[in-house]
Structure 1
Amino acid sequence: MRKLIWAGAIFLGVLLSFLLFFRPEPLAVRKQLEAEAEMHKVKRITPARMQAEVRHIGDSLVLTADSLLHVRLTSVFQAGGLTAALKNYPPQQYPEVRALAQKYGATVVRTAEQAPDTATVETVGQTEILYTKGIFLNQTECLKCHGTVGPEVTEATLTELRRTYPAFKATGFKANAAIGSWQIKVSRPAILESLSRRSRKSLQMPE
């Protein structure tokens, strides 16, 4: 009888130890391990996936900048203020756009180089990928500064433009004409971080 009691006690002790030291991992720990595993996968992504991520980043920045530019220029022109309109230009200086660029580690530039409306993505050097998308005069407000001098761009407007931008010559354009391009560069580390952030977000459990 005593042997049975001792055997039972030993069995219970072993079982208790197992439950204490080999219990299943908490959900939070498992999710963290899954996130870390996903981050390691990101480091082995293909060039095509990196370019797709840069396209996503570029599209987000351009959409944000163009939307804000349209809303703000429409508002200030309706109020009759060219000076105020010039203070709302260029859109890459908007706090919202700069914050988004900082989040993605992107360098955002608008140039006079014309490009297709469809965005292109290409590798530049060893560490960066370049996103390029054409800029078109598809808003009525654009022609007040870039249209034909006289009918659309008044002499007073032209004088103010040249006072603000001494080298300004971007007039004479028609509606929907190409006037320049967005050029957005993103470094490889920033792309990897963006992919990691998206992976971590996808692994989060709903509240």
Structure 2
Amino acid sequence: MRFIFCAALAISLLTGCRPDQIEHLRNTKELAIEAENWQVKRILPKDLLRATRWAGDSLTSHADRELRRVLAEKLQAGGVAAALPYCRPETYASIDSLARVLEAAPRRVSSRPRNPGNRATLSAAELTPDTLRTVRRPSAEVFFYQRPIVLSDAQCLRCHGTPGTDIAAADYALLQKQYPQDQATGYKLGQVMGAWQVQFRRAGVAEFYTMKTRKIMKRRKLF
């Protein structure tokens, strides 16, 4: 009797569990991608150097775009006098915020600086107007990035072009007054004016590499 009761109970349980009542796990592909993203990955030295270039390009390109935008606004509003204090993108709040995230210390240097504090000796190879990058690791915890700064925007000639031709007399007098040792004039479009130099901490570079190489889940089509 007990056997018949157990058999009947087992049959009722099996027949009661219909396929349409089974809850299947959804979004398995997305879950697999997310799980892989959270796996601890070994970052090799070559990966850190690659990430240094990525981070340097990202930071300096953003700074250049912000510089062009701000200078265009200031030049239109008040000419060279209004724009001159803003020709230092490394000090912008948005650039400083990004630098903090990347644990970076950016600066712009030149062999012919406007401000003597930005003077640096650059080789002929470093003054090539192309996409040349310098990436190296001076120590275990420090990475260095450098790329040329090319005068690619005509509006920059109003401060860095030829006096009397590109630079108005009143503006040149203002430059001489504020920067008596100014050497940052006489440039033409396409010339290299100096270089971006950025020092990164290892932790910032490693974090950037991790985020850069994370797999991004593609959005599902609704129909």
TM-score range, shorter chain: 0.7 to 0.9
Q: For each residue in 1:145-186, what CA deviation from the matched residue of structure 2 results, as whole angstroms up to 9, or x when unmatched?
A: 122222222342233224444542212223322111001122
The answer to which of 90-99 and 147-156 deviates more is 147-156
Given candidates 93, 96, 120, the residue that maps to 1:95 is 93
Given candidates 139, 155, 158, the residue that maps to 1:141 is 155
TM-score (norm 1): 0.75
Which residue is 2:136 aligned to? 122
**Pair 1:35-2:46 in alignment:** no
Which residue is 1:66 aligned to? 64
Which residue is 2:182 aligned to? 168
Q: How far apart are the structure 2 equivalents of 1:205 and 1:110?
A: 39
Which residue is 1:180 aligned to? 194
What secondary structure is seen at the aligned counterpart in 2 of 1:149?
Answer: coil
Segments of structure 1 that go 5 or more residues without pairing to the other structure are 13-23
Which residue is 2:205 aligned to? 191
Q: How far apart are the structure 1 equivalents of 2:186 and 2:193?
A: 10
Which amino acid is the alignment partner of residue 188 of structure 2?
A: K
Q: How many pairs were matched up?
A: 194
Q: How far apart are the structure 2 equivalents of 1:185 and 1:111?
A: 13
Segments of structure 2 that go 5 or more residues without pairing to the other structure are 14-24, 111-119
Which residue is 1:2 aligned to? 2
Q: How far apart are the structure 2 equivalents of 1:149 and 1:139?
A: 17
- Tell me by how many angstroms 1:135 deviates: 0.9
Q: How far apart are the structure 1 equivalents of 2:61 and 2:190?
A: 17
CA RMSD of aligned residues (A): 3.2
- Tell me by how many angstroms 1:9 deviates: 7.4
Q: How far apart are the structure 1 equivalents of 2:212 and 2:194?
A: 31
Q: Percent identity?
A: 31
- Contact 1:147–1:174 under 8 Å retained in 2: yes
Q: Structure 1 residues 189, 156: CA separation in 2 closer, same or farther (over 3 Å shift)? A: same
- Tell me by how many angstroms 1:7 deviates: 8.1
- Contact 2:136–2:144 under 8 Å retained in 1: yes
Which amino acid is the alignment partner of residue 2 of structure 1?
A: R
Which amino acid is the alignment partner of residue 139 of structure 1?
A: D
Q: How far apart are the structure 2 equivalents of 1:29 and 1:153?
A: 60
Which residue is 1:49 aligned to? 47
Q: Structure 1 residues 168, 126: CA separation in 2 closer, same or farther (over 3 Å shift)? A: same
Given candidates 109, 115, 123, the residue that maps to 1:111 is 109
Higher share of residues assigned helix = 1
- Contact 1:35–1:203 under 8 Å retained in 2: no
What secondary structure is seen at the aligned counterpart in 1 of 2:135?
Answer: strand
- Contact 2:81–2:171 under 8 Å retained in 1: no
What secondary structure is seen at the aligned counterpart in 2 of 1:148?
Answer: coil
TM-score (norm 2): 0.70
Q: How far apart are the structure 2 equivalents of 1:81 and 1:203?
A: 45
What secondary structure is seen at the aligned counterpart in 2 of 1:77?
Answer: helix
- Tell me by how many angstroms 1:205 deviates: 7.1
Q: How far apart are the structure 2 equivalents of 1:154 and 1:81?
A: 11
- Tell me by how many angstroms 1:70 deviates: 1.8
